[in-house]
Structure 1
């Protein structure tokens, strides 16, 4: 097991390594997904959020060992990059990799646990209070991210945490960071595509389009038509993939 820990957390180094080494037998489960698992660990006033990534397949075990950075390493480095650019994300603590001579066995990303009030998903799935205001501020957050050259490839409903700061103000924080691109500038089509996974609701796309057009100076009709077409294309592919998986499961029975 090797690990990189931010100098800001050197005083907790032994505790953090112990959490990683005993990940499956200690800590409080926060998310027990099929692919990844997230647990919470506490010491003093620090609450750690540790994500264990799914073990890579046979080929990727070799690829991640020698040719490509692990998901954990990318998450840590991307988080540092986001904070340098003034983009919200939970404070990164470190990453850890369990290696053999020729393969990567598993990996972990640790950050400070962030308390939040909602995710973007609540805006999609519920009649959330102050929704349009939050949606417009989320669009401002995304526009700022785009202006800084950040393309968040997993910009989807569950990956933005939202804190209510009071008086109609909200802060936004990105999570699940291992798939990002950093550019000098981002073209219009890529910006619109980056918003295509956020919501299937046309009225929400209309609000975001209105706000994005105000910020960017682009024609609002162009922004809406482009964003909505890319959203519809994504939704079609998403549900087609689900149908195919359902049929495959049926024929396997």
Structure 2
């Protein structure tokens, strides 16, 4: 079994050794959340770490990841470092591990520092009585505009993938689940389509459209019409896919 280990340059040899022991014994450690990918929060040398074990890929993808494409763990690590250089929040990347055999790609792990937050964007879609709700949603929209201005197209820009921390009278935002991103200039349609997965509520789309219009100088109606259209299209596609899955089960 061939292994690849890549660490944050700040780590000392003792920490690396302790972390490696944890990764090797990951399956036997208690706890863990997730179905496809498993996340466990584990203390290593006094640091609270978020260790994500990616699901072993199918036969086709095991060949792809072995020879042609970077693994999800490697992309997560590299994208996290790139976000940090751009001044965009994400939990501090620590390391990634890959395990391969002659038959293909096996397990991989992405490790970052555990970041405690006050909420995720998902709470905003469920509870409209959250204190300072409007300001949080507008601050999130400005954060998304910053992503776009820096050429970051976060393809998994969905409710559970932005952590929110209150910082006195302002809010800080941190992206997680980073393995699907594109980098480069984004046209208007691509920018607005990036909001499509975030909510089913028209009232939220109205607020985000209004704030994005203020940030970008584009017309509010133009933004709202496209954002709502893309939101509806995503929801229709999502529910159509679920219906087909249910039919296939029977």
Q: Same fold (TM over 0.5)?
A: yes
Cα deviation, 1:25-70, whole Å, max 9, x if unaligned, reads 12542x2x22100001113431111000011000111110110000
Candidates 146, 149, 152, aligned match of 1:150: 152
Contact kept, 8 Å, 1:27 with 1:41, in 2: the verdict is no
Q: Secondary structure at the match of 1:115?
A: coil
Contact kept, 8 Å, 2:19 with 2:44, in 1: the verdict is no
Aligned to 2:176: 175
In structure 2, stretches of 5+ residues that fail to align are none
For 2:59 and 2:75, how far apart are their aligned partners in 1? 20
For 1:66 and 1:10, how far apart are their aligned partners in 2? 30
Aligned to 1:164: 166
For 1:72 and 1:213, how far apart are their aligned partners in 2? 36
For 2:104 and 2:12, how far apart are their aligned partners in 1? 28
TM-score, structure 2 length as denominator?
Answer: 0.96
Count residues in correspondence: 246
For 2:91 and 2:189, how far apart are their aligned partners in 1? 29
List aligned pairs for 1:69-148, cutoff 5 A.
Answer: 69-127=70-128, 128-148=130-150
Contact kept, 8 Å, 2:18 with 2:45, in 1: the verdict is no
- Could you list the structure 1 runs, at least 4 aligned residues long, displaced by more than 2 angstroms after superposition: none
Judged with a 3 Å threshold, the aligned counterparts in structure 2 of structure 1 residues 10 and 101 are, in CA distance, closer, same or farther, namely farther
Contact kept, 8 Å, 2:41 with 2:50, in 1: the verdict is yes
Aligned to 2:217: 217
In structure 1, stretches of 5+ residues that fail to align are none
Q: Secondary structure at the match of 2:206?
A: helix
